[in-house]
Amino acid sequence: MQSRFFQLAIDDDVATVDLLRDRLTEEDNIEEFGQELASLVDKQNFRKIILSMGQVRYLTSSVIGKLIMLHRRLGRTDGQLVLADVTPEVEEILSASQLLSYFRTAPSVSEAKGAFA
């Protein structure tokens, strides 16, 4: 799968989605971003997704909405989402939105893979 927003790596049944942008805002096509995330669950049938956010320094509430949508979509199919490599800037945004405890997080991709065991 080709995406303008992320690179996808597959290891057994775990999809690691490495976000490529440092800012995700309305200037990007957030609807397209959401559709690409949804297709990981709906079309490619991934149930374990790690979202590596090491590059991201800023995201808007509409992007957070797409992350919540992905989390809920996975939850309906007994899947799991783990946010890894969350930068201090994104951690602050999620904390201010009171979503840091909503999402499962891990300090690194390798630790996120261990969370699925």
What's the pLDDT tens digit per position in 85-113? 999 999 999 999 999 999 999 999 999 99
Residue 86, domain member (yes or no): yes
Residue 44, domain member (yes or no): yes
72's CB contacts (< 8 A; 6+ apart) are none
Q: What is the pTM of this model?
A: 0.93
Q: Which domain holds residue 10?
A: 6-106
The tokens for 93 are 């945004």
Residue 37, domain member (yes or no): yes
Q: Which helix H or strand E contains 16, and what residues bound it?
A: strand 14-19
The CA-based angle 114-10-43, given to 5 degrees, is: 115
What's the pLDDT tens digit per position in 33-72? 999 999 999 999 999 999 999 999 999 999 999 999 999 9
Residue 102, domain member (yes or no): yes
Q: How many domains does the chain have?
A: 1
